[in-house]
Structure 1
C-alpha cells in the first residue's frame, strides 16, 4: 500500500502486451493508473484456469465487481476517452454543501465542494463511491510532463486547449543533480534525462504555464514541488492534485491534496477533472506535550509503526490529525505528518486549519486569511478507526532498513549502528523547521570544535530557495560549513535516487531524514530513517544516536 504516482510501471506492462493483471490486492494509485490506461486488474484467481483453458473472458467478468466509475472507464478503453465524453454539461454535485445531511469530516466537506456530476455520471458522494472533482490547483514535475504531453498529443492532436492554464503549475525538481557521478556509476543516465527535460520544457513553454525550474548558473532547482505549493499557492479548503505520491504534503494547510498518475493528470489538464473516491477517514489523536528532542518525524514514524497502519488499514483513507499536541505543531512540522501519509498507504493527510495556519500564511506570503466555520470536521463525524498517541511519552524514533513501518524507539536500538552517510533534505525534511533542527545540533557541535565523524559524509539539501535564503539570513550556513557538511541547493536528490547522498555499495549505512527506505531507494546500501535532529547528531557521533546522547558524551 505504499505505491508511487509514477505510471511507468503499468504503462510498461501495457506496452509489453499485458492485458490483465491478477493479484491478491492492489495499491490504490497503481490500480487507478491501470484503469486509466485501460489495463484490466482482478483479484479473482479463478480466471487463471479459465484463461489456460482457452476460454474467452467477457469484459463484464473483469469489471463486474469494480465500483461503477472504474467499470465505466475500463469499458471506454481508458480515462482520456471517457473524460472527453463527459467534460461538457458538468454541474456541482451538491447545490449547497453546508446543507448536506449528517455530520461530515473535513475531507468529505472539501470533496463535496469540488465534486461535479454530468448526465452520464451521477454521484451520491457516499464514502467509497467514486466521481470527479475540479481541483483548485493541478501540478506536475519533470518525471511526468513528457509522459502527459505524449498521451495528450497522441489522443487530441498537436495543439491543445488546456483547461484554466493559470491553475496549472510546472516543476523541474527531480533531475537537477542527476549529472553528479554517483547517479551515473552503472551507466550514463544523462542522455535519457536530457530528453525528458527537453520534453518538459517544450510542454510548459508551448502552453505558457507557470514553471519553477532550474537555478541559473548553479546546481539545483527553485524548489521541490510540494514544498513550493505549500509555501506559495495552496490555501485551506482547497483541493489539489499533483503527480507525486507525496502531494499530501499540502494537507498541513487544511486542504485536500492527493497524488495522481500521468494519465489522470493529462485528462485533468484538458478537462479540469480529477478522479477520486469519497474517502473514509482515520482520526489520529495526538495528546500531551511534545518532549524536547522529539520532532514530527518521530511522531509519524510512530504512526507508521502502529499495527493498524502496518496491516494496511489506512490504504486509501484520509489520515486526519488532531488533538492538543497537533495544535502545538507549526505548519512546517505538520507537513512531515501529512507528507508521509503516502507511506501509510493513505489517500492523503489533513489538519484542520487554525491560528498556526493563519500565522504561516501571513508570515510566508503576507496573506490575511480568515478561517471559515465549515473548515473542520463536524462533531459526530464518522471515522473508520482512531489512533491515539500520547506524545508526552515519545522518544526519538527510527525506521529500520527496508520499510518506513519498521519502527524502532532509539533507546531500544541495542547494538551501535555505524553510519557512513547522513542525509538531511527532501520534501519531507528540507523545510525551515527541519533546518532549525539541523542547526540546533550542528551549531552546538561547531561551538565545541566537533565535525562530522571520520568516514561520515554529511549532506544538507534545502527544499526550496526560500528555505535556503532563510538559512542564510539566520546565519546557519557558518555552522554547517564548520562541521564539514556538503550544502546542496533544492532538488529531490538522493531521496529519489537523483543526487548526492546515494550509497554505492551494499555495505554502506545511511541515516536519513527522507520519507522512504525501501531497498534500492537511495542506492544499494541500508537506510535508517530518523528525524533531522537525530540525523545531525548521528553524523557527528559516527553512529546513530540522539542529540541528548551526543551531548552526554561531550559533557
Structure 2
C-alpha cells in the first residue's frame, strides 16, 4: 500500500535527502520566465521547505509538491481516504486545518430510486448507504463541514456547484476526489481531481504532488448566436482534430476572448467543467469584474479580499498550442452516443433522432443559467400551446438548493410543471447511473445536458449530449431539434437573493 508522506516523521538524514529532492524539483534558484495563469498559481503554492512556500517560476514537466487551499471529497471516496489515513498514521490521526476541508453527500443520494432488485438482494444498497454513514462519522470526528442531505429532499448541493458558489477563490489550488473538480477553474483557480491516496495525504500535509502541465489556449473571436450555448461551444472544441487525436490529454485548457466578458459565470463554468472530457487536467478562465461581482454577491466577501487572488497570464507566456475559435460559425450541436468528442451540428444528423427521454441536470446542466434556458424554451412552448411530447419523459434536476431556490423565485417551477417535466431535487444522479433519468434498456434514446456519454455511464441506452436549449426543445418536439423555434429575445432577468435584488447569474 502506498504510504502517506509526513516530513516530520522522516529521520533527520532522510529529511535532508527529501529536502534536496524537493529543491531540485522546484528549482529554488530558478530565474524568472513568462508564465501562464496556471503556472503562476503553482509557483506561488510550491512547497520549498517548512515555512517557505513559493518559487520564482515553474515550467511544464516540473514535479513538485504544492499547498492546496481547498480540499474536498464525496461519500463515494471519503471512506477509502479515511481508511488510508488511519492505516498510515493510526486511529487518532487528525486532518490538518479542517476548516479548509469539505465533504459532500451528493453522488449516491438517489441510488435507492434506481437500484435494481437484483442488486438490492446482493446487499449493495446497504453497502452504498454505509459509505454515507462512514463519511458522516469521519467528518464529525474531524470537524469537517459536511454538505449533507436536505430535509426537503435531495442533497444540499452537488460538490462542484457548491465549490463554485461557496468555497473556491481566484488564485487558489483546489483539489477534489472527482474529475469534474475542474469546474471551479471558472473562478480563476487551479482546480483538479485527485485520488483517495493523494487526498488522504493532503488531509494531513495540505500538500498535493503536481507535475506542471502544459496549457492549450482557446481564444474566442466574434459573438455566439442567440440559440448557441456554452455547451455547443465546448462540443465544437471537443470535436476538433486536436482533441479527437488525444493531444488534449493531460493539458490545461485556458479560455479567453472578448465575448467571454458577456457570458454569465454559469456559462463559463460549462467550459471549465467539460475540459476533462478529452482527457485534460482542468480548464481555467482569468478572473474579471464579473468574477468579482459573482463572488462578492454570492458570499458577501469584500472586493479587495477577493481581488488579491487575481492572477493573469503573461502576454508572452508559452503554450503547447493556441487556437482561435470563431463563435459566429458555431451552430447548435449534439454529441453522438459513445464519446463527448462525437459532436456535430444538429443540422448534419443523417436521420431524424426520436427520443424517449430528455435530461436537464448534473453539475454541468443544473446551474442557474441552465434553468434560465430550460424556462425560456418551455415558456415559449407553452405560449404556443405545446407541452412535452407524448412518450417523452423530461427530467429537470437542480445542482444545489440555491439553484432550486433561484428557480422558485423566478417562477420556473410552475413553468416546468405545466410543460410536463419531472423535477428532481439536487444531487448527482442520472449522469452516473445513480438517479432518475438514467436509461433502463438498450433501446432508450436520451438527449442530455450532462457532460459525458461514455457507453454504460448513464444506463444501457443511447445517450446524446446537447445544450439546455436543445434538451428542452427536443423534449417538446419528441426528437432532437435546434431550439430556435422556441426562443425569443427577452430582457435579462433579475435574481432575488438574500432579500435583495441582485444581477442575474444566469443566461443572457
Q: What TM-score do the two structures reach when normalised by structure 1? A: 0.81
- Counterpart for residue 141 of structure 2: 206
Structure 1 segment 85-100 matched on structure 2, within 5 A: none
Q: Counterpart of 1:63?
A: none
Aligned-pair distance for 1:551? 6.9
Return structure 1 stretches of 4+ with deviation > 4 angstroms: 81-97, 549-552
State the partner residue of 1:57.
none
Question: Shift in Å at residue 196 of structure 1?
Answer: 1.0
Matches for 1:511-526 after TM superposition, within 5 Å: 511-526=447-462
Equivalent position of 1:139 in the other structure: 72
For the residues of structure 2 that align with 1:84 and 1:459, how far apart are their CA atoms? 52
Q: Does 1:190 align with 2:111?
A: no
- Of residues 472-481 and 339-348 in structure 1, the stretch that sits farther from structure 2 once superposed is 339-348
Asked whether 1:332 is paired with 2:266, we answer: yes
CA distance in 1, matches of 2:274, 2:158: 15
Residue deviations 1:411-435, cap 9 Å, x none? 1113110000100000111110011
| Partner residue of 1:156 out of 89, 93, 98 | 89
1:107 to 12, 16, 38: 38
Secondary structure at 1:246 match in 2: helix
Is the 8 Å Cα contact of residues 86 and 118 (structure 1) preserved in structure 2?
no
- Counterpart of 2:111 (choices 169, 178, 183) is 178
Offset at residue 368 of structure 1 (A): 3.3
Distance 1:83 1:96, change over 3 A: closer
> How has the CA–CA distance of structure 1 residues 233 and 81 changed in structure 2, closer, same or farther, with 3 Å as cutoff?
closer
What is aligned with 2:394? 458
Tell me which residue corresponds to 1:255.
189
Residue 375 of structure 1 pairs with residue 311 of structure 2: yes
Contact 1:153 1:159 (8 Å CA) reproduced: yes
Partner-residue secondary structure (3-state), 2:72: strand
Answer whether contact 2:26 2:62 (CA < 8 A) is retained.
Answer: no
> In the alignment, which residue of structure 1 is the partner of 2:238?
304
Q: Secondary structure at the match of 1:170?
A: strand
The count of aligned residue pairs is 472
The residue aligned with 1:490 is 426
Q: In the alignment, which residue of structure 2 is the partner of 1:80?
A: 4
Is 1:290 aligned with 2:290?
Answer: no
- Displacement after TM superposition at 1:356 (Å): 1.4
Distance 2:182 2:430 in 1: 20
Match of 2:48 in 1: 117
Task: Pick one of 470, 493, 498 that aligns with 2:406.
Answer: 470
| Distance (Å, rounded) in 1 between the aligned partners of 2:156 and 2:10 | 37
What is the DSSP-based 3-state SS (H/G/I as helix, E as strand, rest coil) of the residue aligned with 1:460?
Answer: strand
Over the aligned positions, Cα root-mean-square deviation in angstroms equals 2.6
Q: How far off is 1:549 after superposition?
A: 4.4
Say which is worse superposed, 481-490 or 355-364, in terms of deviation. Answer: 355-364
Give 2:292's aligned residue: 358
Q: 1:500 and 1:185, CA in 2 relative to 1: closer, same or farther beyond 3 A?
A: farther
Instruction: Output the CA distance in 1 between the equivalents of 2:463 and 2:254.
Output: 28
Q: Retained in 2: the 8 A contact 1:183–1:497?
A: no
Tell me how far apart the structure 2 counterparts of residues 100 and 106 of structure 1 sit (CA, whole Å). 17
Q: Distance in 2 between matches of 1:194 and 1:330?
A: 37
Matched, 1:269 2:203: yes
Give unpaired runs (5+ residues) of structure 1.
1-36, 38-77
Q: Of 351, 369, 382, which aligns to 1:446? A: 382
Contact kept in structure 1, 2:380 and 2:486, CA below 8 Å: no
Change (3 A) 1:291 1:161: same
CA distance, structure 2, for counterparts of residue 161 and residue 199 of structure 1? 16
Note if contact 1:176-1:219 (Cα within 8 Å) is conserved in structure 2.
no
- In structure 2, the gaps of 5 or more residues are 489-508
